[in-house]
Structure 1
Amino acid sequence: MRRPDSGRPAAAPVRLMMFLVSGSFRGRNGRRRPGPPGLFVLAWATALAAVVSLAAQSGSGVARFLNETIGFSIDDLRGLDRGSAVIRSLDTPVRQELAHVGAVHLDVPPDEFVDLFRDIERFERGPGIPQIGRFGSPPRLEDLQSLTLPAEDVEELPKCRTGDCQVKLSAEALTRFRTHVDWSSADAGRQASELAREMVLDLVRAYQAEGNTALGAYVDDDDPLLVAEQFRALLASRDPLPAAVPELLDYLDDYPRGLPGGADEFFYWTVVDFGMKPTIRVNHVVIYPLAERPSTGIAYAIATKQLYASHYFHTTLELRFLVDRIDRAGRAASTLISVTRSRNDGMTGFRGLFLRPIIRRRSRDAVRHYLEHVRRQVERPASEAVLSRAGTGASAH
């Protein structure tokens, strides 16, 4: 497994500094090559300042990870320093797998971010997430009361057969939809939604008791797809990460055994709608504080493991790392690094040659939009607090 090298400085910034000092590079043959003068030198000096700024704010280990291990460019780091969300796609060992690394600066320290994130219903609701709910402990049917099947699924479910279904279902779920819903009835949609709530609850309860084996197999295609096998294969691609968290990854694999010390967890469901088919997703979240923070200053690792998705995704794992940062005003802040891996439909064969670049671009855009949403969400409580204080002051007068 590759690791960011914390014992040596980044090569590119060092060579750039030599160029700025001497006005030339030394080539591989040892001869000096004159560098371009004037504004070009100034432009590179400005680019170097972006790297230095990131290193100062986030720790040199994080800057090195983004620059050397992931391949973020100087322009990417400058964009990050200006407040943009930056994304890079990674090569993957199999065609149906996609991986992206994203980063964004946040105006709150890691502890405050985690407090906001735990209120997941408020935190994630927004454009593209019209429905969301968090499960209690233990999970109850009432936790799913607001879940309604998308109209597209209600239309497709009566046509579903093993090996030919537009919704991802297990064989048992497919049978229950066929036998427990009167599809000729005017309220078939309501019946289907009620049944969907029961089945999602059954899935979460079974997973909490039995672990990955309860996730079953999708039979929407000719070849049944075991979700646990897909997730285990996804875990095999463990690098690159800004910090090693083997105990967290082992827990996701061996659940419910081995919750890491200090970690807490919760479960939630969403309906995600980003312009394609609205997709029901069920997720398991583990928040893991890193008590002995590595040299990168990483305070938390947060894992979101997909248990079910009604479309597109075989399995997904999102790992988010929160890094201590001091902003330009000297205030405590953070950098969020997101590492997302998923296995998806439509990525193999002749059809996949055309679809894979489109799916890859759309999934990369989704990561970017999520990071931008996160930045807005953590800025909102701060602005609300300012307005609240202003209102209190006004009422005092």
Structure 2
Amino acid sequence: TQYYDKFTDDLRQEIFDAALGDPEMWKIEDVLEGGGAYLSGSKAMHYLELHDEAWPSSGGQRIVKTIDGSLPHDDMWAKGRVKLGQGVVMFAAGVPAILQGSEWLEDTDFGTGLGNRIDWGKKITYAPIYQYMKDIIGERRTNSAFRANAGIDVYKVDEANNVIVWQRFDGSGNVAVVVANFSNANRLNYRVGMPSAGTWYELINSQASVYDGNGLGNGGQVSTEGIAWDGQSQSAVLTVPQMGLLVFSKTAPVPTDVPTGPAPQLEKMRFESVRPNPTRAEAIAVFHLPAATEVRMDVFDIRGRLVTRVANETFPAGRQRVVWDGRAGSGERAPAGIYFMKLESGGSTVTKKLILLK
């Protein structure tokens, strides 16, 4: 694997040109399609910024400082364009790389002095950006359509609206569609061709409110129409927010940390923690019940598939623990990746995310 410098240079330049309203989508198409036999797939490493780009000694600085020249370098454009750029890196073919601190909008330049130490407090200050980075990495790691050598097809290059669309796919029929809007305008009622008919779920929206975006999106899913568009037999009308990156899949995601059901019960039933997290072996789920009640706890993978059921019984009131041994229902060890432990009791549901390491 070697650095594909043209990918980084062109991506950064079009991110910067977006400030002037004139990014060139054909350049993004060009680098997404790879640099030939030795600069494509697993042989190419992609990134938005690494040491040289963020090192004053080589003429660089952190990208947030270039986008927003005023302290604290965190305006809506810095947030939006960094999320967009990191999303393009993560969902392109090839091997993605991240400079430590980029996951929380670090503005401390790279260097060897005490003053160059990254500020871990920004992990809390910019928690929504950090969560976005965690989620796109999780999707990249667990969706085989995003493997380094998985297929890529750029099928929409809209220079007038500064939008580019590509699909990623593997040999098993897994397909994902990525929509990237480099413009400063929201694209409303925007039609995009889709590879197949039916419901497509919005797995990632970089401008979702939870990621400190403007909150525009598609409500988690869209349905196609039999209208041919962009070389595809089906299409859907989307809301594509400014500086937004959207990822769609035919497989529904599992919601995380989103309680549902009657509010009074949720206020009393608490899913306190899953620990250790990450884990290499077993994980202990700790929860509190206001009264003796039947509890069901299931483990799902990132694609929403049931891995195993770890509890389905009546528990007494108080603090309880359930252990998942890291194995699927078949008895085999579950592969490394992101999982969700779903607690159901009294008509209420709460889900916690868990990372299983090798």
Same fold (TM over 0.5): no
Greater strand share, structure number: 2
Greater helix share, 1 or 2? Answer: 1
TM-score (normalizing by structure 1): 0.22
Structure of greater relative contact order (alpha carbons < 8 Å, 6+ residues apart): 1
